[in-house]
């Protein structure tokens, strides 16, 4: 009896050989079919965000090629199995196939192996293109975000429309130097431009703002977290943060240590999003999980120009309190976004700052956001509004890249991707700017401390 068994090793893991495999994250689970079926909507989304459309186009052009080549590979696999069965000796009847038949089957298997090899190369290339393309596809846009420019939807502490101005050539740094609470010159010697020292009541003011924001968040059910400020670059990418902006300017500080691809975080959003990466979340009956993170944040801000580079308004390193939430469904995430916005409004209102709430237009959404709100405080020294908070609903944009899932009872207890949301509770330097410029009393040369902060500043009423 002649025992002959021939195998073709078809590629069982044709996962885009040129796509870099993450050392900490699995490959993203993109919904290629959704991108293909909604290509026109997503191309429009990219255009409105002023982002390239090439990612959507790459998925659109490769999806059917990928699908068809996979079907062809499956057919070859089935045919191979049928031929290999013929080489297995029959039991009971003692019959066996002839040498000529064996030779013919071997030739067919060799031909199938050659076909499979060529087709696997094509399949891998199509799949690689899908992953490369999907990585550059932005989120869909909320129906009520299709506005030509940021839309003012509310004013906080309106003061009957009064918008006070500081004296010409006077701003928060004039006040800070007068009170001895900020030193930019020493920081420039030590670290370079756009770094700063907070001294005395300046340092206390930062701590008071942090304590106040953390306290407000905790009362709303956010669990405190102190996250790392150094993360893998792939974690930043998964959140939608890229090393360079659309103008090619450096936005993230990259670090290199023993070959590790690391970066300084621009916000605690990144490590908070990564907290439950590659995890299955267990929701309670609310369908929501919430954390508030306190961290130092780092922004290269290579594109900053003009007045925004002066003083504390735009700096390289600062303290930030960040809100982050996970929700089980899209409908729930929409409600959570409104809850975060209400908390932000409450914080700014209690600080006594005049501010406006903006529904952001598509060109302000970046790649990850489905919907976004900003709050801008009036800054009398800048004679303009300045952003102090932002909050975004990213749907499953980040969770597909982070592999954060939950069991959906509405879908047969199957795994589904969570929805992620983020928002600023306190961007300390920006709020210090607004406080110094809003509550400065030129006659007494002192700054009135907002009442909600006084208990964290030795119960003082003024910085003087």
Task: Decide if 408 is inside a domain.
Answer: yes
Q: How many domains does the chain have?
A: 2
| Predicted confidence (pLDDT) at residue 68 exceeds the cutoff of 70 | yes
Secondary-structure percent of the chain, ordered helix, strand, coil, rounded to 5 = 40, 20, 35
pLDDT of 67 reads 96
Whether 24 is covered by a domain: the verdict is no
Lowest mean pLDDT among 8-22, 210-224, 232-246, 327-341: 8-22
Q: Is residue 345 part of a domain?
A: yes
51/193 same-domain check: no
300 assigned to a ligand binding site = yes
Q: Does the annotation list 382 as a binding residue? A: no
Is position 388 annotated in a ligand binding site? yes
Q: Do residues 104 and 181 share a domain? A: no
Q: Are residues 65 and 208 in the same domain?
A: no
Whether 249 has a binding-site annotation, put simply, is no
pLDDT at position 339 over 80:
yes
The lowest-confidence range among 132-136, 239-243, 320-324, 401-405 is: 239-243
Query: Does 422 carry a binding-site annotation?
Result: yes
In a shared domain, residues 62 and 196: no
Same domain, 208 and 339: yes
Q: Give the CATH number of the domain where residue 329 resides.
A: 3.30.930.10
Classify residue 446: in a domain, yes or no: yes
pLDDT digits (tens, 9 = 90+) for 270-289: 999 999 999 999 999 999 99
Q: Which domain holds residue 198?
A: 151-463
Cα 408 versus chain centre, distance:
23
Q: Is 270 inside a domain boundary?
A: yes
Residue 14, marked binder = no
Per DSSP, the residues of 286-330 read: T-EEEEEEEEEEE---TT--GGGGSTTSS-SEEEEEEEEEEESSH
Q: How confident is the model at residue 245 (pLDDT cuts 50, 70, 90)?
A: low
Tell me what pLDDT residue 260 has. 84
DSSP characters for 226-279?
A: ---SEEEHHHHHHHT--SB-TTS-B-S-EEEETTEEEEE-SSTHHHHHHTTTTE
Q: Does 147 belong to an annotated binding site? A: no
Residue 4 pLDDT class (50, 70, 90 cuts): very low
Annotation-wise, does 291 bind a ligand? no
Residue 214 has pLDDT above 90, yes or no: yes
In tens, the pLDDT along 79-94 reads 888 887 887 766 655 5
Average pLDDT score over residue span 189-212: 98
In this structure, the answer to whether residues 285 and 200 fall within a common structural domain is: yes
Residue 391 labelled as part of a binding site: no
Residues 128 and 191 in one domain: no
Is the pLDDT reported for residue 22 higher than 50? no
387 is in an annotated binding site: yes
The verdict on residue 9 lying in a domain is no
Answer with the residue of higher pLDDT: 246 or 328: 328
* More confident call, 247 vs 253: 253
- Asked if residue 210 and residue 114 are part of one domain, the reply reads no
């Amino acid at each position: 009896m002649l025992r002959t068994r021939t195998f073709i090793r078809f590629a069982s893991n044709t996962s885009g050989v040129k796509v870099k495999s993450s050392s900490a994250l699995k490959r993203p689970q993109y919904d290629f079919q959704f991108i293909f079926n909604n290509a026109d909507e997503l191309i429009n989304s990219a255009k409105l965000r002023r982002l390239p459309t090439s990612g959507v186009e790459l998925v659109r052009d490769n999806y059917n090629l990928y699908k068809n080549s996979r079907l062809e590979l499956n057919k070859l696999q089935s045919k191979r199995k049928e031929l290999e069965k013929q080489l297995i000796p029959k039991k009971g009847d003692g019959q066996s196939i002839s040498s000529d038949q064996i030779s013919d089957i071997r030739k067919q298997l060799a031909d199938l192996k050659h076909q499979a090899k060529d087709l696997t190369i094509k399949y891998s290339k199509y799949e690689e293109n899908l992953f490369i393309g999907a990585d550059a596809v932005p989120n869909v846009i909320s129906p009520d975000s299709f506005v030509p420019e940021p839309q003012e939807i509310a004013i906080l502490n309106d003061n009957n429309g009064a918008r006070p101005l500081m004296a010409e050539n006077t701003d928060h740094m004039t006040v800070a130097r007068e009170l001895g609470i900020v030193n930019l010159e020493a920081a420039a010697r030590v670290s370079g431009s756009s770094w700063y020292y907070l001294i005395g009541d300046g340092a206390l003011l930062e701590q008071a703002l942090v304590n106040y924001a953390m306290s407000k968040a905790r009362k709303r059910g956010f669990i405190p977290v102190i996250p790392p400020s150094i993360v893998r670059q792939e974690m930043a990418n998964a959140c939608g943060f890229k090393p360079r902006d659309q103008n090619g300017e450096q936005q993230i500080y990259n670090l290199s240590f023993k070959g590790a691809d690391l970066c300084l975080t621009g916000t605690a959003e990144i490590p908070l999003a990564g907290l439950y990466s590659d995890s299955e979340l267990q929701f309670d009956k609310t369908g929501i999980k919430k954390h508030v993170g306190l961290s130092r944040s780092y922004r290269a801000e290579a594109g900053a120009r003009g007045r925004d580079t002066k003083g504390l308004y735009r700096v390289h390193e600062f303290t930030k309190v960040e809100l982050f939430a996970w929700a089980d469904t899209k409908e729930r995430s929409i409600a959570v976004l409104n809850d975060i916005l209400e908390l932000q409004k409450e914080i700014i209102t209690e600080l006594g700052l005049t501010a406006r709430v903006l529904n952001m237009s598509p060109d302000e959404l970046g790649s990850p956001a489905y919907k976004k709100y900003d709050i801008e405080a009036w800054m009398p020294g800048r004679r303009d509004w300045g952003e102090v908070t932002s909050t975004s609903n990213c749907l499953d944009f980040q969770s597909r890249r982070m592999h954060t899932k939950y069991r959906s009872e509405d879908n047969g207890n199957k795994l589904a991707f969570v929805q992620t949301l983020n928002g600023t509770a306190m961007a300390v330097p920006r709020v210090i700017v607004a406080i110094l410029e809003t509550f400065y009393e030129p006659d007494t040369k002192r700054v009135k401390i907002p009442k909600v902060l006084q208990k964290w500043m030795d119960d003082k009423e003024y910085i003087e």
